[in-house]
Amino acid sequence: MLDIKLIRENPDNIKKKLTIRGMKTESVDKILALDIKRRESIGEVEKLKSLRNTVSQEIAVMKKEGKDASARITDMKKVSDDIKAIDERLAEAEKMIDEVLRDIPNIAEDSVPEGKSSDDNVGFRIWGEKASGDFKYLDHVELGKKLDILDFSIGAKISGSGFPFYKGRGAVLERALINFMLDTHKLNGYTEVFMPFLVNRASMEAAEKVPKFEEDMYRTDPDDLFAIPTAEVPIVNIHRDEVLDLKDLPVKYCGYTACFRREAGSYGKDTKGFLRVHQFNKVEMINFCLPEQSYSQMEEMLNHACGILEALNVHYRVVNVCTGDMGFAASKQYDIEVWSPAENKWLEASSVSNCTDFQSRRAMIRFKRDKKTEFLHILNGSGLATSRLYVSLIESNQTPEGKIVIPKALHKYTGFEVIG
RNA sequence: GGAGAGGUGGGUGAGUGGCUCAAACCAACGGUUUGCUAAACCGUCAUAGGGGGUCAACCUCUAUCGAGGGUUCGAAUCCCUCCCUCUCCGCCA
């Protein structure tokens, strides 16, 4: 959620920023008009409430002294009715402001490239080399089937398409990746957490996922719980409605969860195997920090995610995501993409975002400095999602005979060095 | 699923309709005293929003006692609905 004061004080600048993100600007005018109405109502109603408070005191005194207070009581009856009416008007204006505000994304930082779609993202870093063996690289679905480590048809039978099924060494490899990543992040100063995969509506709202993206979520009906689309949701909510101690910042967490996404509207796109799934595994990093730290912390988080890939010798590139392709809550975003030799393309495996104070304002997560409370900045980064990393890993490390060589860093987690 | 108890400021905890528009204590912070520590004493001790302003550290008003409604001139206090926590029973990995 944006700060309404920012909109009030500098509407033209906000409009400009919205345009850059490909958004219409009329919401700004709507908010300005509603805000004026809101503040007028507040002025009116508070004057009446103040009157009511004093007169109620007087009535108490009069009754105590045995005087007749019925005239005043009659007066106050009218005042109370008026208060009720204005309060209703006020609540209506506030609700409408909130509705509009919920549709406005975070402001892009200056270093974010302008653009409309992922085609306009700008290369930021590239590491490693494409697998270049002199043979035809099998794609992960064929390879997984041949080695009997992945079977998407079983997943489809159990749940539906987009629910992966791992088997034998394939399952062990998945678990090894998760453990390797968690251990690495712990060494980088993150506190490991394990958390609920179903969260309540308040948590989803605090993380700015709902109501805007409700149709992308799995939801349980009788209890109104949401299957988390990312561990970002539960982790951000650890500190909802809290004032953190300045000396503890930055507070860093990492944790593994399964992630659930309906991917509504993208049926038929990238449906093969792991490329787009409804359930996947991800290790997430979250950082609560001082506002002036957040962009340097962001670079650090990017390096932590990239460090995983480098330890696994996975060819990757980082793109600076453009204004049109950025996440709703992000002010700046890096995507990390890994190379698939079989698809002959880059696959998004991680996203590191600086959400500045956009989530913390909604979630009321603050710290105290010089007797004033300020919203802290929240960053999230996948480090990383396993599914597409898994694709790159097994495809790139396959041998001409169709075996998979496990990277050395994983040996102590898998207990084997080759599949097949 | 059944029965019961309870949710008050950072913590403990008083308060069952009007000198409580939340007492007291603890913790924290600032100060005084002291050779040092301790103790004692004094002070500060919420959050959000509105208005005023020499627009910052100031003044003022309003709201907030789990959430939302209701009754009333007036609600932490009475009524209704919901949420959560704890205890016991049942079921269960």
Taking residues A50-71, report their average pLDDT.
85
Give me the pLDDT at residue A229, please. 95
In the predicted model, what is the mean pLDDT of chain A? 92
In a domain, A173, yes or no: yes
Q: Answer whether A281's CB lies under 8 Å from A178's CB.
A: yes
What CATH number has the domain bearing residue A319? 3.30.930.10
Domain boundary among A101, A133, A157: A101
Torsion of CA A59, A60, A61, A66, to 10 degrees: 80
Which residues 76-135 in chain A have a CB closer than 7 A to strand B?
76-77, 79-80, 91
Summarised one tens digit per residue, pLDDT across range A103-134 is: 899 999 999 999 999 999 999 999 999 999 99
Summarised one tens digit per residue, pLDDT across range A127-136 is: 999 999 999 9
**Rounded to whole angstroms, how far apart are CA atoms A309 and A338?**
9
Distance in angstroms, CA of A242 to C1' of B87? 29
Give me the pLDDT at residue A221, please. 78
* Tokens found for residue A180: 């390797």
Give me the pLDDT at residue A261, please. 93
In a domain, A313, yes or no: yes
In a domain, A20, yes or no: yes
Summarised one tens digit per residue, pLDDT across range A332-390 is: 999 999 999 999 999 999 999 999 999 998 888 888 887 778 889 999 999 999 999 99
Give me the pLDDT at residue A151, please. 95
Across the beta sheet with A372-375, what order do the strands follow?
Answer: A242-244, A365-369, A372-375
Alpha helices in A65-119 (DSSP H): 70-101
**Rounded to whole angstroms, how far apart are CA atoms A312 and A197?**
28
In a domain, A11, yes or no: yes
A400, with CB counted inside 10 A (0-12, 13-18, 19+), is: exposed
Specify whether A86 is located in the same domain as A122: no
Which residue range is the domain that position A39 belongs to? 4-101
Distance in angstroms, CA of A23 to C1' of B82? 38
In a domain, A106, yes or no: no
CA A194 to chain centre: 17
pLDDT of residue A50 exceeding 70: yes
Handedness of CA A135, A141, A145, A148 (dihedral sign): positive
Query: Interhelix angle for A70-101 vs A26-64, to 10°?
Result: 160
The kind and range of the H/E element at A199 are: strand A198-199
Specify whether A178 is located in the same domain as A71: no
pLDDT of residue A409 exceeding 80: yes
Give me the pLDDT at residue A86, please. 92
Give me the pLDDT at residue A268, please. 65
Specify whether A77 is located in the same domain as A168: no
| Contact between the CB of A62 and strand B at under 7 Å | no
Q: Would the ipTM clear 0.90, i.e. be above it?
A: no
| Contact between the CB of A242 and strand B at under 7 Å | no
Summarised one tens digit per residue, pLDDT across range A256-268 is: 999 999 987 766 6
Give me the pLDDT at residue A9, please. 87
Specify whether A126 is located in the same domain as A86: no
The model's confidence at residue A228, banded by pLDDT at 50, 70 and 90, is very high
In a domain, A60, yes or no: yes
| Contact between the CB of A156 and strand B at under 7 Å | no
pLDDT of residue A400 exceeding 90: yes
Give me the pLDDT at residue A67, please. 80
What CATH number has the domain bearing residue A93? 1.10.287.40
Specify whether A69 is located in the same domain as A207: no
Q: How far is the CA of A210 from the CAs of A101, A103, A307, A328, in angstroms?
A: 13, 10, 32, 11
Q: How far is the CA of A122 from the CAs of A25, A80, A125, A193, A340, in angstroms?
A: 26, 60, 9, 33, 20
Backbone angles phi, psi at A419, to 5 degrees: -115, 130
Specify whether A214 is located in the same domain as A179: yes
